[in-house]
Amino acid sequence: MSVRRLAENQPEAFAFTRENEAKCEEILRKYPEGREASAVIPLLWLAQKQNDYWLPKPAIEKVAQKLDMPFIRALEIATFYTMFNLAPVGRFYVQMCGTTPCLLAGSNAIKEVLLRRIGEQGKVTSDGMFSWIEVECLGACCNAPMVQINEDYYEDLTPQNFEKLLDDLAAGRPVKTGSQTGRVTSEPAGGLTSLTSLYGVDGRNGPLSTPDLNQS
């Protein structure tokens, strides 16, 4: 991690869309009167989502104004949490997990792909399609290695299927989220080894046929 500063080129202004204004109201209602400042993280998050996954200065100020707090308080939050991007990111924003389980399962190979195809961390490709960053554990360790692209997880990666995934995204072809090897959620990679009878006839159905726990 390094010192995080606001991006040099900033848009003139920021305003929540009508739907997001409504969402802001909904979020604010969750907090007692006089404690609206607690909504700073959800509101910054909403602003970031609306603004192509990065937080410009006017958005930070807007949120602070909305919550009646000094600008510096919102800036503190935005610079503290690395999930708030302070500079523009690519249309496909890849967060690659590099923590121990993923590393042991081969995330270094995934990183090489990223370095080769996209370039340095934090840099956006010239066509604006991709940027990537290495993050800490995203909690999908059984399916390591994995990346998060925008809001979706892509798991069980190998350099081959990851390259194909990037190609598909760039070409606008539909892609499969979750495991790229075809396994269902985080079941054992080689098929079910236990609870096979309880957990679906073919032993592969997983949660699609979750038994009704009230019976039996």
Partner 1 sequence: MNRLIVDGIEIDVPPEYTLLQACEQAGAEIPRFCFHERLSIAGNCRMCLVEVEGGPPKPSASCAVAVKDLRPGPNGEPPVVLTKSLMVKKAREGVMEFLLINHPLDCPICDQGGECDLQDQAMAFGFHSSRYIENKRAVEDKYIGPLVRTSMNRCIHCTRCVRFTAEVAGTGDMGATGRGEDMEITTYLETAMRSELQGNIADLCPVGALLPKPYTFKARSWELVKTESIDVMDALGSAIRIDTRGREVMRILPRINDSVNEEWISDKTREIVDGLKTKRLDRPFVRENGKLRETSWQAAFQAIAAKTGQAPPERIGAIAGDLCAVEETFALKLLMQSLGAVSLDCRQDGAKLDPSLGRASYIFNPAIAGIDEADGLMIVGSNPRKEAPVLNARIRKRWLRGGFPIGVIGEKADLTYEYNYLGAGPETLAAVAERPPAIMQKPIFLIGQGALAREDGRAILALAATAAHALGVVKEKWNGFSILHTAAARVGGLDLGFVPGQSGLDAGSLAKSGALDVLFLLGADEIAVEPGAFVVYQGTHGDRGAARADVILPGAAYTEKSGTYVNTEGRVQLADRANFPPGDAREDWAILRALSDVLGHKLPFDSLKALRACLYAVHPHLAKFDEITANDRFDIAQLAASGAAHTRAPFVSTIADFYLTNPIARASEVMAECSALAEGFAREAAE
List interacting residues with partner 1 (CB under 8 A). 1-4, 6, 57, 69-73, 75-76, 79-80
Q: Nearest Cα to 157, choosing from 125, 181, 128?
A: 181
**Shortest distance, CB of residue 185 to partner 1, whole angstroms?**
33
**Non-local CB neighbours of 89 within 8 Å, separated by 6+ positions:** 52, 53, 54, 124, 131
- When the beta carbons of 37 and 184 are compared against partner 1, the nearer one is 37
**Shortest distance, CB of residue 48 to partner 1, whole angstroms?**
17
Lay out the sheet containing 147-149: strands in order across. 130-135, 92-97, 147-149, 152-155, 178-179
**Shortest distance, CB of residue 54 to partner 1, whole angstroms?**
17
- When the beta carbons of 3 and 201 are compared against partner 1, the nearer one is 3
- When the beta carbons of 69 and 133 are compared against partner 1, the nearer one is 69
**Shortest distance, CB of residue 113 to partner 1, whole angstroms?**
29
Query: What is the enclosing helix (H) or strand (E) of 134?
Result: strand 130-135
- When the beta carbons of 52 and 61 are compared against partner 1, the nearer one is 61
Q: Nearest Cα to 190, choosing from 203, 177, 199?
A: 203
